[in-house]
Structure 1
Amino acid sequence: MAYYSDELIEEIRSRNDIVDVISGYVRLQKKGSTYFGLCPFHNEKTPSFSVSPGKQMYYCFGCGAGGNVITFIMQYENYTFHEALELLAQRAGIELPKKEMTAKQRQEADKRARILEINKTAAKYFYMLLQSQQGRAAREYFQKRELSEETIRHFGLGYSSKYSNDLYQYLKRQGYEDSVLKDCGLVTIDEKRGGYDKFWNRAMFPIMDANNRVIGFGGRVTGQGEPKYLNSPETAVFDKSRNLYGLNFARTSKKPQILLCEGYMDVIALHQAGFDNAVASLGTAFTSGHASLLKRYTKEVYLTFDSDGAGVKAALRALPILKEAGLTAKVINMTPYKDPDEFIKALGANGYQERIDQAENSFLFEIRMLERDYDMSDPEDKTAFFGQVAQKILNFSEELERENYIEAVAQRYQVGFEQLRNMVKHLGTRGYTAAKQKPKKSGIQKEKKPDGMKQSQRLLLTWLIEDTSLFPVIEQYISPHDFTEPLYYEAARILYEQYHQGDINPAGIISRFTDEEQQKEAAALFNARIYPVESKAEREKALTETIVRIKKNSLEYRAAHLDPTDIAGLQQVIDDQKKLDAIKHLHILS
């Protein structure tokens, strides 16, 4: 992949006006100095997707998608950073330096093709063994799970021999060399033992990518043994965090949503019952890579995880990831059954369809699970619970949406609508989430650093780019080093540098980050939601409180990480601590 200099990247970005580019994908309407439209990254009826010509950035206040013109192309077209850059360079008539594929790159491409070929050969061999006398135990396992012959064939299920070098010997007979076999994830080459299989005496599940290529395998023991399930290691063609089991079939489903499960058998049972829109992660936690993959094929994801404690935790981890990706999520209730496979066997496809139709709104599911951590008969606990709920409601950008959720919560928990609404408004005007985190009931939990500090730092950076007249006063008290998150510090450092050079350019800051998640986080730094306040005094109070919080946090961080022998550093912390009182009496706004 060719390397492009920061100067060239900035030239490409600046020669592609963000409003012009995004107008080719999204219908935009101008409101004041900003353009708005329906977000292309999640479902919405009221526009919350904003494009700022001044900042040369876009940001969705609904799903959090944001960035510059390069990141928009990456997100919309599902391109890599370099692919997006090449498209925009061509659009602007900029010729990029070309770089031929090196011998090493050609070698890597050949190796990938060879591994895919080996995987396909192995999948056919495992299927053949399942049909033979050797595969009897695996066949009985699949029959016990009530899988039809058609389903077994559809998913290419198979069996790995009880002999630990059977596949290795078979692949050698097919002409594959040890130099390639050692990297395919199916065999291990050992100097003493020779070649031996990763999978043996297991029911086999070929894992295919969205283009129906076999990229790896899962294997389940047919008798006693550990681990119960074993997955292929990551290889040149297999990345667990960017592939989903069953997606090769689900991507062509006519159903309006994708069902997200936890295991192979849940996916297979659902497909056999007619729900060909089911997928599962591959023995790993759900990631943003999985969410990005799903987004190519759907706008709605229904979680159908196990109903036990582990399944609930997995759902709570997955929901914010789906929301960040711009996907609508709901949760299917499996109770009283453990998982979709068990549910289908008990109540059939019609019963499961009813549960799909009754799927719970993800926000209401989250607060129902949150309620378990509080004693609702205790006034203090109950107040803390509603504080957490109010904090979550603030994540909704549209006022109408916030009002609807306040109403839904008020009705469900029989609390006054106006009281809850005032709590939400109070937290919003302070610009950070102040509700106290209640420790979990089971065991002692470490106190988590509040997300409010990140929000305060985002607010200050947003204020600085929207009103550069604040810089001379604020930089007397807040330096880039007071931003304690590494990405926040780097963004603040560049912003302060730009200010002193007379060229505030937040879109250019985003280009410094090539990782998609970092770009998104950087965009959020300059698009914090500043809630309207009624007077100049209230705005000054909010700004001053934000500066004090950031400085106090910075001092605590520095003190905690200070070398006890660093006398000068300790004295600086003490001097800065004295300045905190002075900050409280600042008159920032002229």
Structure 2
Amino acid sequence: MIPDSFIQDLLARVDIVDLVDGYVPLKKAGANYAACCPFHNEKSPSFTVSPTKQFYHCFGCGAHGTAISFVMEYQGLGFVDAVKDLATRAGMQVPESEGRSFNDEKQGQTRTLIEVMARAAQYYKDQLKRSPKAIEYCKKRGLSGEIAARYGMGYAPEGWQNLQEVFPNYNADELKAAGLVIENEAGRRYDRFRDRLMIPIINPKGDIIAFGGRIIDQGEPKYLNSPETPLFEKGRELFGLPQARQALRETDTAIVTEGYMDVIALAQNGVGNAVATLGTATTATHVTKLLRQVDRVVFCFDGDNAGRKAAWRALENSLEALADNKRLAFIFLPQEHDPDSYIREFGKEQFDRQVTQAMPLSDFLLRELAQRCDLTSSEGKAQLIYEAKPLLLKLPTPLLRLQLVKRLAEASGFVQSEVERLCELKSYTPAAPPKAKRTAPSLTRNLLRIVLHKPKLAAQLPIDLLPDTPERPALIRLHDLVVGASQEASSYAALREQLRGLPEEGIIENAASELLALPFDEEGAEAEFRDTLEKLQEGGQKRAFAELQAKAQQFGVAGLSAAEKQAYIQLLTNRGNRS
């Protein structure tokens, strides 16, 4: 956990206009700045950045947030990593919630290992230029110098201790910690990578965190990756993600392959939106990271049995990361092909057709389950539901789950309600329509807009006076945040980060988008705030009088309590004075 006070200081120090402009060129548009949205395809700019409120909003796709949100979405980082990234830019050190700094020694080790990896990568790149054998291998695979440079490719020459040339202290702990050398039982060291084409693995910040090595001649293993290190966790990283970022935004599709040579071959042939897992099965973390940036993920593994098993593992591990507005699909190439060989033989157009026609997750799931069961027998139909149950329970998407349940019912002969009961799924019941509000929500909506412009006014909100409208919970939440703040609330951006993950986040985000679309009188904000409260008070008095009058007419004045009688008389007096 990172203290709210640090988040507020960080957002006050980082200018979102400078930040966004470093990724997407912004143009002045009145009081704000505009650009074509980096999160979806569009021809005319609908992405707006507010320098006064320090947030962005896209009127096309709805992308919205602070500087932290932008780094999370653009770079595919989690919240903590995004805060660390911005803090580094701002020259700040991220504290822990208890007030202690993150371990300085660990941070120092990370910086040292990153420097070590960068030096090794440069050494490998220099060796590639000097090796006719490695150059010939790249040409044979159809790789251009441009692609080699784009992916930072290099060559680890034959021999046991070549890295000693660039690291004179070959026994340094950092070389082993970075996974560049191996130490045998006798304590003797040697280079991990020898006679291999070297592919750097880069994190979203552009740091080299690991290497993949492809053997050039015959030998095993064909592919050798760095071990897990303080920099590198296989289940979290995807090869080629930084290089693919622009193509991901343009296509809104990510293609996941099994190996980095597949990614490089696809890029060489004009398919730039491919990434690869790194010696491990696709994880939910991989899929979540990709679905932050695209709406569709297509898995394209080898056409053999191993590839099909990898595809099924990817399906199982992806279910929990799905949303109803996201799609997963699968390409099954001919058995003798992998993505590399397929695109080299058949070309980009045919490969693009495979991506477009990829099998949807639902079809793959049902096909695989049906192949495991004998659907001509009662036992096989029962097994189908048994095999489907754990997969359905993983799905967080009610609409897709409902479709799968219907198709499972058709295939098994059970009725839909029986499948839901057997799989312990809650039946979908349409939500009851909301009750009509007796007061126009425009007053509370206007209050919410004023408070988001002037957060300090939230402390003056009369909670008991707020009518039961959709904005009421959000106004109460803002009131509590501002009242409980250790320092004066300075901006919407500061409040927005405190709202992350809370139930009121959506309605406040929606109202904040109006800050960019509707004119607002900054100087008259407090007067408008007081005027709105007076109107709410008048409305509250009218409702109270109507309720007491109805009760008095039904039961007589004697039917009112002493407090109700006093309130009724006071309201009658007020109405008389106004008339």
Does residue 107 in structure 1 map to residue 105 in structure 2?
yes
User: How does the TM-score come out when normalised to structure 2?
Assistant: 0.53
1:354 matched to which residue of 2? 353
Aligned mates of 1:398, 1:201 — CA distance in 2: 48
**Residues 424, 313 of structure 1: alpha-carbon distance in 2 compared, 3 angstrom cutoff:** farther
**Residues 113, 367 of structure 1: alpha-carbon distance in 2 compared, 3 angstrom cutoff:** same
Equivalent position SS for 1:242 = coil
Residue 196 of structure 1 and its aligned partner are, at CA, apart by 2.2
**Residues 430, 385 of structure 1: alpha-carbon distance in 2 compared, 3 angstrom cutoff:** closer
**Residues 113, 394 of structure 1: alpha-carbon distance in 2 compared, 3 angstrom cutoff:** closer
1:345 matched to which residue of 2? 344
Can you list the C-alpha shifts for 1:218-242, whole angstroms capped at 9, x where unaligned?
1122223222211111222111111
Aligned mates of 2:348, 2:107 — CA distance in 1: 44
Amino acid at match of 1:371: A
Matched-pair contact (CA < 8 Å) for 2:298–2:329: yes
Does residue 200 in structure 1 map to residue 198 in structure 2?
no
What does 1:63-102 align with in structure 2 at a 5 Å threshold?
Answer: 78-80=78-80, 97-101=98-102
What does 1:19-38 align with in structure 2 at a 5 Å threshold?
Answer: none
Does residue 261 in structure 1 map to residue 262 in structure 2?
no
Equivalent position SS for 1:371 = helix
2:161 aligned to which of 143, 165, 169: 165
Does residue 116 in structure 1 map to residue 114 in structure 2?
yes
1:374 matched to which residue of 2? 373
Aligned mates of 2:191, 2:147 — CA distance in 1: 26
1:125 matched to which residue of 2? 123
Amino acid at match of 1:237: L
2:180 matched to which residue of 1? 186
Does residue 423 in structure 1 map to residue 415 in structure 2?
yes
Bigger Rg, which one: 2
Aligned mates of 2:399, 2:113 — CA distance in 1: 53
Matched-pair contact (CA < 8 Å) for 1:156–1:205: yes
Can you list the C-alpha shifts for 1:250-293, whole angstroms capped at 9, x where unaligned?
22322111111101111111111222111111111222232232
Aligned mates of 1:130, 1:279 — CA distance in 2: 23
Does residue 213 in structure 1 map to residue 207 in structure 2?
yes
Can you list the C-alpha shifts for 1:166-213, whole angstroms capped at 9, x where unaligned?
1123222xx787133232211245796654211111111111112221
**Residues 337, 194 of structure 1: alpha-carbon distance in 2 compared, 3 angstrom cutoff:** closer
2:232 matched to which residue of 1? 238
Equivalent position SS for 1:207 = strand
| Contiguous gaps of at least 5 residues in structure 2 | 4-71, 85-95, 427-579
Can you list the C-alpha shifts for 1:300-320, whole angstroms capped at 9, x where unaligned?
211111122111111111123
1:311 matched to which residue of 2? 307
Equivalent position SS for 2:177 = coil
1:142 matched to which residue of 2? 138
Aligned mates of 2:375, 2:268 — CA distance in 1: 43
Aligned mates of 1:146, 1:392 — CA distance in 2: 41
1:301 aligned to which of 294, 297, 304: 297
Matched-pair contact (CA < 8 Å) for 1:205–1:217: yes
Does residue 223 in structure 1 map to residue 208 in structure 2?
no
What value does the CA root-mean-square deviation take over the aligned residues? 3.7
Aligned mates of 1:403, 1:190 — CA distance in 2: 56
Amino acid at match of 2:364: F
Aligned mates of 1:402, 1:113 — CA distance in 2: 45
Residue 153 of structure 1 and its aligned partner are, at CA, apart by 1.6
1:323 matched to which residue of 2? 319
Can you list the C-alpha shifts for 1:463-522, whole angstroms capped at 9, x where unaligned?
xxxxxxxxxxxxxxxxxxxxxxxxxxxxxxxxxxxxxxxxxxxxxxxxxxxxxxxxxxxx
Equivalent position SS for 1:372 = helix
| Matched length | 342
| Contiguous gaps of at least 5 residues in structure 1 | 4-73, 85-94, 434-454, 456-590
2:241 matched to which residue of 1? 247
User: How does the TM-score come out when normalised to structure 1?
Assistant: 0.52
Matched-pair contact (CA < 8 Å) for 1:162–1:201: yes
Amino acid at match of 2:156: S
Aligned mates of 1:216, 1:370 — CA distance in 2: 37
Equivalent position SS for 2:217 = coil
Matched-pair contact (CA < 8 Å) for 1:168–1:187: no
**Residues 431, 305 of structure 1: alpha-carbon distance in 2 compared, 3 angstrom cutoff:** closer
Matched-pair contact (CA < 8 Å) for 1:178–1:189: no
Equivalent position SS for 1:331 = strand
Q: Which one has more relative contact order, counting CA pairs under 8 Å at least 6 apart?
A: 1
2:545 matched to which residue of 1? none
Aligned mates of 2:374, 2:390 — CA distance in 1: 19
Deviation larger for 307-316 or 423-432: 423-432
**Residues 364, 125 of structure 1: alpha-carbon distance in 2 compared, 3 angstrom cutoff:** same
Amino acid at match of 1:155: Y
Equivalent position SS for 1:304 = strand
Matched-pair contact (CA < 8 Å) for 2:259–2:277: yes
Amino acid at match of 2:350: G
